[in-house]
A = this chain, B = another copy of it.
Amino acid sequence: MKINELEPEKLEQAANMLKAIAHPMRIAILGHLDDGKKLTVTEIHELLNIEQSTTSHHLGILKDKGVLQSKREGKNTYYFLKHCSLSNIVDCVSKCTMG
């Protein structure tokens, strides 16, 4: 029962992290970023067939809440998981929604 030792601010932070993930498109984004993969904004916006600005928005939210990290290389910005264990969350939820 580790979470109960968390102070309210840590609870809040955990909630914000999950809230960032809890969106269909953002789950889809994370689905493409397993195994340490790094993708650019354009690659993601083409993969998922969503607007560029919308894509950037979603990536910004995921980065802001500590789910993703980014690294600029020339014209491109690569996004990737900050903690690779975060893939487990997507795995777990997708398994639980299969039944």
Contacts and interface: CB of A to CB of B under 8 A. Distances in A.
Given A3-B27, A18-B22, A13 B97 contact: yes
A92 B19 CA distance: 14
Contacts of A1: 31-32, 34
A88 interface: yes
Contact of A22 (B6, B22, B88, B95): B22
Contacts of A14: 24, 27, 90, 93-94, 96-97
Interface string A1-44: 11110101011111111110111101110111010000000000
Contacts of A21: 18, 22
A53 interface: no
